[in-house]
Amino acid sequence: MKQLDQIHTFAKQLGLSNLANHTFELLPEAISNEEFLIRCLKDEIAYREDRAKQRRIKQAQLPAIKTFEAFDTTAQNGITDWQLRQLAALNWIDGIFNVIFIGPPGTGKTHLALAVANKALENGYKVFFASMDILVHILKTQEISRNSAARLKWIRECQLLVIDEMGYLPVSKVEANLFFQLISTLYENTSVVITSNKGFDGWADIIGDPVLTTALLDRLTHRCQVLSFSGEGWRVAHREVIFDESNLNKN
Ligand code: ADP
Ligand code: MG
């Protein structure tokens, strides 16, 4: 009977409504076949879950894989070990909080944004990752590009949107309005992670309109953790060179 219960549950999960409705009528025939059927249904569930995960990974468009484990908090004052663990726990996504990383180039903002996105994908969340200029391009071409329209539809379904490199390129008035509309739509539904080389004081210059910037920041920072990074940057401190004088003695 326990096994028939299991068959019933699996059939429901897979949307096999006929089998789900008639599971218990199968009792006489089931006795010898139930193990086999359970195995088949478990296989089907695992297969579908894996396919859904692969689809989510493809849709998310992560440009690289970075992990929390590879992030060295001793190299960065902007985040403590405890904060890193909170960030990696991801329950702020369920609470629909935003995270904004601010700091100069090379300080690990994109690394952590990617680590968040990667772990969220692993944990079953729907994610989209894009640089600000790609996102703006998607917004601008939504009416004329089926690809952009599909991306936007996905973004609206996502639990997490990561916007990388806000502030490197200024946006036009039209673009700023489209961006504001998107953030307004996502407000209180989707967690947004943003990396920026500019502090909030500089955002009016990026957006080009102080009133719109205030309204945007109002929505973004309502439930938000801001992490400010500093320092010369990991790339500078860990620069690798082709012509390394310490190798000279070896030859
Ligand atoms: P940003 O986005 O702030 O410009 P990145 O995240 O792209 O910087 O970091 C530049 C490079 O340095 C990346 O390869 C990243 O993995 C590495 N990096 C930066 N900070 C750290 C850190 N604290 N621990 C480990 N790697 C780091
Ligand atoms: Mg970056």
User: Mind listing the pLDDT tens digit for each residue in 99-139?
Assistant: 999 999 999 999 999 999 999 999 999 999 999 999 999 99
Highest mean pLDDT among 15-29, 34-48, 77-91: 77-91
Compute the distance from residue 197 Cα to the ligand 2 centre, in Å.
8
* pLDDT surpasses 60 at 247: no
Compute the distance from residue 105 Cα to the ligand 2 centre, in Å.
6
* pLDDT surpasses 70 at 246: no
User: Mind listing the pLDDT tens digit for each residue in 153-207?
Assistant: 999 999 999 999 999 988 999 999 999 999 999 999 999 999 999 999 999 999 9
When pLDDT is cut at 50, 70 and 90, the band that residue 6 belongs to is confident
123: how many CB neighbours lie within 10 A of its CB? 11
Is any atom of ligand 1 closer than 6 Å to the C-beta of 71?
yes
CA distance 99 to 191: 8
Q: What is the pLDDT of residue 215?
A: 95
Q: What is the pLDDT of residue 103?
A: 94
Is any atom of ligand 1 closer than 6 Å to the C-beta of 167?
no
Phi, psi of 95 (to 5 degrees): -80, 0
Compute the distance from residue 101 Cα to the ligand 2 centre, in Å.
10
Ligand 1 atom nearest residue 66's Cα: 16
Compute the distance from residue 44 Cα to the ligand 2 centre, in Å.
40
The model carries a pTM of 0.85
Task: Give helix then strand counts, H and E, for the chain.
Answer: 12, 5
Is any atom of ligand 1 closer than 6 Å to the C-beta of 101?
no
Nearest CA to ligand 1 atom 16: 111
CA distance 214 to 55: 37
Alpha carbon distances (Å) from 193 to 17, 19, 31, 41, 122: 40, 43, 53, 38, 17
Is any atom of ligand 1 closer than 6 Å to the C-beta of 66?
yes
